[in-house]
Amino acid sequence: MMQKMSFHLNSKVEPPSSHLRPFFLLGVYMLTFLSPFWRGLYFEKDLLPAIVVAAIAFSICLADQLLARDSDFFPDPLDIAMLAMLLAYILSLIAAVHRHDAIVELLKICTFVMVYWMAFRAGKNERDFKRLLLMAYLAAVVMAIIGLGAALGWVHFEGAYEQGHIRSTLQYHNALGIYLAAMNIVGLALCLRTERSLSRLAYTGGNYLLLVVILGSLSRGTWLLYPLAMGTFVFLISVSYRRKAVYQLLIFISTGLLAGRLFFNNLNSSNELIAVTFLILGLMLSIAASMIKVSQLAFMDRLAEKGINLKYLLAAVSIGMVLLAIFFISNPSSLSGVMRYIVPDAAIARAQKTSVQDGSFQDRLTTDKDALRIIKDYPLTGTGGGGWKALYHSYASRLYWINEVHNFYLQTTVEAGVLGLIALLAVAFFFLRLLLRARASSLDNPDDVLLWAAAVAVIIIAVHSSFDFELSMAAVGFLFFGLIGLIRGRTIKFKLDKRKSLEGEIRSRDLQRLVKHNSLLITGILGGLLALTTGITASSFYIASLQGDKGAQALETGRLDQAKILYRQASSLDPYNGKYQVNLAQIAALKATKYKDNQSAAEAIDYAHRASELEPYNSSLHNALISIYGTLGRTDLQLSETEAVIRSNPFLPESYELLAKTAIKAAWSCLDRGQREEAFSYFRLLLSTREKVPGDLTNSTPGLNLAAGQSALLLGETELARNYLNQAVLGDESINKTARLWLAGVDYVQNQRKTTRAGTTKPEVDLNALLAFLKQSKN
């Protein structure tokens, strides 16, 4: 019979290791600490080098694991769920709308899996577990300091402080707020676990700064989750730490709120010196309060004497604070009188704007609805990474600009389909199961403080990401999946009797060695393949971007041949990136125009076709191709690209105006050459395009209204022509004048029809007579 398995928090057992362990740990420490300072690794050019570093660190981690012969016989379901999420993103390449973006997103998911596994192996050791948490915490404190410096004008980092929001190096206030809130919990746990007085004072000061910046981020979602998260943490930790936890909370919350209010109010009044003074005084006060020992606080003892359980008291207070926050959000007018003595005026103003009619809330509802519409058309494997950004305008019911779904779960479903969502939910389920088992088997264990801090940090990020997009930032993703891996490493299954083999499953020592050998072999092969493909692809894409930058410099200085060589190199390294094909098309078009070279013209068209096929929903790319085709004098291709722009984003009036200008010009040219049918095909195109214009844009496209009115009249649709021309009259002076002239033409055609013999309902318009009338009327 198989022996009973125990679920254990591994606080003493040292994991198998080789001399390579410090090197992969250094890699994961660097990724955790440095990634927030490169704009959260949100942008591709910042992300790709980090992926290469992660692949190298993961390779070292694998080598360490193989040399140490460290293998789990039975992988945890959480590991399998992480691999399933990776597989879902691989399958998303099947129907990816933009292959390059889909591959980059896949590389990011690969990196999440690698960070998860490295953190898992780090988490098996208590010292390394704490160090990795410390790296994340220090990154948060440095971000807070940079954010405060940017608010004061002392630190110049683009986007770190805008519109009254502290955004720091993540350049997004909501992502910053939830990141700092998660690390505030970890900072509290580190403060509780340290035995050194100086370290405790440093953690208290750091936690104070984090709270001040959380206030300054003006992140309402973070404010709502913060009290509940802190209450949950205190509820979960051992009784022996609750007093200290409550006291530390009181210190940095009270000093943070007081100093934060005075700091931001003076900062917004341009009293920087006074603001800094209050900030420093608050820091000194929090550190001084931390010097008082908890045992000296008589009120804590009185609570205990009265039989008040601190755990339930904290739970009640946390729930009360959340309910209070919900009340104030529902009744924002009540905020000004109650909270003006507690929080900054900017925070009150921000909270008072919160309602279901708030633009931010409505935008989130809109993106969720549009995401569901995309999912309906791409249900199984999704659109691939970047699919939302490529498609959302063509599915939208109104014009808005949001490059990420403000819901990580819906965004995953858009990109990786239902398969991706199932895998992500499986990660959540098995992670929660891991926590429940840990809770059941280690109730009131004093060593669990850091574990529960990491767990609550994961949970609040997961909850917050259901209405925001912080997990689209790789830096936050590294933190999130790294914490999950750490917790997985701290909670491991092992046999009660290590001297015996598993009966029934593994009956002999030889078979046990065989299973271990095969397990290591599979881990090495799959992990090596993951590291190799991820590292090589990311390196290739990054080098391509560098070559592309050099090509752009050469193109700007007129060195066309050199630019062509560089862009070809970039294209060979990153073959799915449409912008390199556009640049090659531009170079060929310039040569064709300069040297009257038909071969270069054909080459330009070939490159342009490739670019359009690679990124069919990239409106910026199509606009560039329109310009290239204009250089080549290819009106027909200009029109096809203009139609592609309209398909990509049907809410831009300038696209309709461009199509109208191009098509009507081409139609007149055809008529001048006697190509009547070709001209009529352009007229029909104009009418069909006008019918597709969203209703709220009709008054913003006077050029299209004029061209559609002219087309309708020339095709014999007089009433339709009158309708469009009446709308065109609302345009500028030149369009107004032309529209009135053509309205007279409508009257002329209708009068001519009155003299037509009976039985002919809609005789063909006499173009020559109509044009002669218009010419005469104009003169």
Look at residue 327 in the predicted model and tell me its pLDDT: 58
What distance in Å separates the CA atoms of residue 238 and residue 363, rounded to the nearest whole number? 42
- Residue 763: pLDDT above 50? yes
Q: Measured between alpha carbons, how far is residue 616 from residues 102, 655, 693, 704 in Å?
A: 14, 16, 20, 24
Least confident segment among 272-281, 320-329, 394-403: 320-329
Tokens 């390779």 locate to 59
Query: Which of 492, 448, 501 has its CA nearest to residue 6?
Result: 492
What distance in Å separates the CA atoms of residue 88 and residue 82, rounded to the nearest whole number? 10
Among 38-47, 312-321, 709-718, top mean pLDDT goes to 38-47
The residue that leads in pLDDT, 193 or 759, is 193
Domain residue spans of the chain: 670-779
- Residue 11: pLDDT above 60? no
pLDDT level of residue 440 (50, 70, 90 thresholds): confident
- Region 145-163 average pLDDT: 94
Look at residue 502 in the predicted model and tell me its pLDDT: 45
Taking the CA atoms of residue 384, residue 386, residue 391 and residue 397 in that order, the dihedral angle to the nearest 10 degrees is: 120
Per-residue pLDDT tens for 543-595? 999 999 999 999 999 999 999 999 999 999 999 999 999 999 999 999 999 89
What distance in Å separates the CA atoms of residue 262 and residue 28, rounded to the nearest whole number? 39
- Region 278-300 average pLDDT: 78
What distance in Å separates the CA atoms of residue 410 and residue 418, rounded to the nearest whole number? 10
Look at residue 294 in the predicted model and tell me its pLDDT: 53
Tokens 């649709």 locate to 717
Indicate the pairing of strand 5-9 with strand 491-495.
Answer: antiparallel
The residue that leads in pLDDT, 526 or 5, is 526
Per-residue pLDDT tens for 661-674? 999 999 999 988 88
- Residue 504: pLDDT above 50? no
Residues of the chain with pLDDT > 90: what percent? 66
Q: Measured between alpha carbons, how far is residue 444 from residues 130, 189, 447 in Å?
A: 19, 15, 9
- Region 220-224 average pLDDT: 90
- Region 166-177 average pLDDT: 96
Least confident segment among 297-306, 649-658, 690-699, 714-723: 297-306
Look at residue 498 in the predicted model and tell me its pLDDT: 39
Tokens in use for 512? 């046990």
Q: Are 98 and 614 in contact (CB under 8 A)?
A: yes
pLDDT level of residue 506 (50, 70, 90 thresholds): very low
Look at residue 756 in the predicted model and tell me its pLDDT: 60
Tokens 């080459």 locate to 603
Q: How many CB atoms lie within 10 A of CB 321?
A: 17
Least confident segment among 4-18, 114-128, 612-626: 4-18
pLDDT level of residue 500 (50, 70, 90 thresholds): very low
What distance in Å separates the CA atoms of residue 210 and residue 218, rounded to the nearest whole number? 13
Average pLDDT, the chain: 87
What distance in Å separates the CA atoms of residue 224 and residue 464, rounded to the nearest whole number? 10
Residues of the chain with pLDDT > 70: what percent? 84
